């Protein structure tokens, strides 16, 4: 409990009690998530409010950062090409926009650095693989 547990149950446990405890935890967590918010690991992302929240820090994102993070969330676990990101988020795929995208990816990686389970992996010459 000292390191962050919400609840505990001893073994052997009654399956009905276990289900009730899980349902209670889910209900508690749903109250903290406003509609339109996305859970990303230990973060809560509110695209409409341009806000990325973590227990340790809160970030007010730019509109482009929010659009990029939302796009990455929608492609979790997938390899996304640089061209696809540029076309869908920036609307163009020229060299200078690509360099700008690299800066935005670096910023988002920094924002998400408090949760080591999250990653945006570069695939040289192709794009990025997102693991949220």
Residue ranges covered by each domain of the chain: 1-32, 62-131
Q: What is the mean pLDDT of residues 30-38?
A: 60
Two tokens at 82?
């640089």
SS3 (DSSP) at 127: strand
pLDDT in tens, 48-101: 999 999 988 999 999 999 999 999 999 999 999 999 999 999 998 888 888 899
Least confident of 5-9, 20-24, 45-49, 61-65: 5-9
- pLDDT of 118 strictly over 70: yes
- pLDDT of 123 strictly over 60: yes
62-131 under CATH 1.10.10.10, yes or no: yes
pTM recorded for the entire structure: 0.70
Average per-residue pLDDT in the chain? 87
**Strands in the chain per DSSP E:** 38-40, 43-46, 51-53, 58-60, 79-81, 119-123, 127-131
- pLDDT of 2 strictly over 90: no
């Amino acid at each position: 409990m000292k390191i962050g547990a919400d609840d505990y149950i001893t073994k052997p446990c009654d399956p009905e009690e276990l289900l009730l405890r899980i349902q209670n935890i889910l209900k508690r967590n749903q109250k903290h998530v406003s509609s339109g918010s996305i859970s990303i690991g230990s973060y809560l992302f509110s695209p409409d409010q341009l806000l990325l929240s973590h227990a340790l820090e809160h970030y007010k994102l730019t509109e482009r950062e929010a659009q990029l993070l939302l796009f990455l969330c929608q492609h979790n676990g997938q390899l996304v090409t640089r061209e696809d990101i540029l076309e869908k988020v920036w609307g163009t795929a020229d060299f200078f926009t690509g360099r700008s995208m690299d800066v935005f990816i670096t910023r988002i990686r920094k924002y998400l650095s408090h949760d080591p389970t999250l990653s945006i992996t570069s695939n040289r010459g192709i794009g990025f693989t997102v693991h949220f």
